Structure 1
Amino acid sequence: MSSEEDFSLVVDDTQPSEDSLEGIKAMIAKFKKQHEELLNEQKHIADCKDVVRGCAQQFRVRTKKLTESLKRDKDDYEVQVANEKAKLASLMEEEVELKEQAEKLAAALKEEKAEYVLLKEQTEVFTAVPERRVVFKGVTGEVDGSQFEMESSIVYPMDGGTALITFDEEVVAKKILSLRTHQVNLGEECRITVEARPVRLMMPSLVEIESKACPRRILISNLPKMDTEFLLNKLEIHFSKTKNGGGEVEDREFLPDSGTVVLTFLSGDFARGLVDREYHEVMLHPDKSHRVRVTPFLNGNITNLQTKMLTCPRTLLLTGIPDFMEADTLQDLLEIHFQKSSNGGGEVTAFFYNALGQKTSALFKSVAEKEEE
């Protein structure tokens, strides 16, 4: 095989020569065809551009609408958030006000309960009318026998950390009460705050008692002074005997305030006969009898009790007093403070301090229509 290869040039005789008229016409036809194809392609591109422009326009319109809608939603959301914040702030303020009102109501309820307990204690004292000693002092006049006048004696329970103060003048007490809270200087950089409150007492205005003779009890009076137990034994022995008109004794009691004795029988068949006889000779000594008097024992039931509230015009209650120094010293400092006119005070006629941890009852008596501690 030879290293050099022979090539032969093959000429297509079917294609006209470019230099020939036919060749030029063929080229022109070819270029026309290419031109038409380009025009068609250009038209297709233009149509596509129009479609893209339409889509873009539609997209811009939709984008604008969405933007405006989002802005409106955002504005509405911000307005709603602002309204909710305002509502929340209003609710929080209302909650604070309600808490304050609840605290005030709780404090008022506590004060009312304390006053109720105090009034209840006073009522229990009033309903137990004490026995009074009556002494004739030479005064006579027309009186209603159905009524019995008593001097008022009222027990006022005091809590710890309080004090009662009585001023000489009502106007001073009113001034101290109107100021309500008072800053009391107790020495070197030592100051306390106390509160002045009115003292209200519940007093009986009318007491009606229905008395009835007890069928099993007798009251023995006109007794000599002697040993109480010996006296009770002698009386029980005497009045338990049938020949003396008595019977079995269930109980006996000596009343020291009147010097009398109450005997209670098991049966109600003996008291009436002994009372009718009235005077009895009892052997209280071995060789000598003593004449005693037997009268009915009266049971009293309160049928009508009317009360009224009295506000002491000159006496006030001081509360909130801490216990941090000697009671006598603290009482003196408090009394000095309220005696000074510069503090709104005046002349003090009575002062009593009850320290924390103690419970004391103050006694009020009506003397010339003025309260007295």
Structure 2
Amino acid sequence: MSTAVQEDNYEEALKELKALRAKVEKAEDTKSRLLLEKLEEDEAKGEAQREMMEQLNKQELREKEFKQQKDKLQDEIDQLSRKKQHLQEKLRKCRKQMETKRAESTKLKERFKIYAPIPHTEVKFLAPMKEKECTDEMNHFIRGVFTISQQVTLLLQGGQALLTFEEEKVASQILKMAHCRVTCEDSSLDVKPKRITMETPVTFEVHLDVSRKELQVLDVPPSMPGERIKDRLEMSFSKSSRGGGEVESVDYDEESRKGCVTFLHPGVAVDLAMRGDYIVDLEHEEHLKVEPTYRYDLQKFQTFCGSVKRTILLDGIGGKEDEEDLQDHLEIHFQKPSNSGGEIECIRYISEGKTLQAFFSEDKMDME
């Protein structure tokens, strides 16, 4: 080979070597850049994974807290539900007791209530009545007289009826029968007429004197000796800024924890009693309940005997018809003279399973 050819080959090889070196350098740069990007991406990936783990941990913690709160709320809901059921049961029992007590109270109220007729009396006017002088005794008390009268009652049971005729003789005729057959639309009933047995009604007067000078103080805390409590009561009830007044005397019973304050002038005790409580300075300010002092006396206790002449009781009515329809059949039957009946002033029938309180008033016809 000639020297010129060798030189050409050498130059080409050098050029090719330079080109390869340039490519290698470029590849190295690319490799370095890619490695750097990979490191950055790995670092970003690691950071993202750490953030994701933190978020997962937070989520687990929150889910745990949520579950705990949910369980706690569910326990509270269960407790409230049980408490609600208990209160509802208690309310049901209390309502039942209240209804029983109310019925008993109504019965007792009506039992001790009487409307006594006052006979007609001729009055002759002679002279105007002179007013009595107001004595200290009258000035120190508010006096009242209350008349307690019992009204005659009867508890009408289911399957019973009350009939009041206009004439006594009709009721008397019906009571002579052992039973009466009442015809309805598709059936007939055997009812038993009975005489009404009345309880002995009573009436009495309650004479009540309410003191205008004395005031009772209730539930005084035993925080100091009795004498000191008396002094504190006197000082507290003497303060006009609280509605008090000049105190005449103070009594205190350690056993019952009650005090009695007597004011010098009438009227102060009444005003304080109307308020219901008063601030008393003991070891510290106490709101104590106050009430009036009173005395009462029962007088003119009287009992009365009476009978129901125009009203009868029908028992053993076992019909299954409507209450109003059956009452109409009873009224029609006992209005007919052919059934020994007559004009009916009032009728009331109660079906099975019900009760009704009936009240009797003085018969005006018997008074004339």
TM more than 0.5: no
TM-score (norm 2): 0.42
Select the structure that is richer in strand: 1
TM-score (norm 1): 0.41
Q: Which has the larger radius of gyration?
A: 1
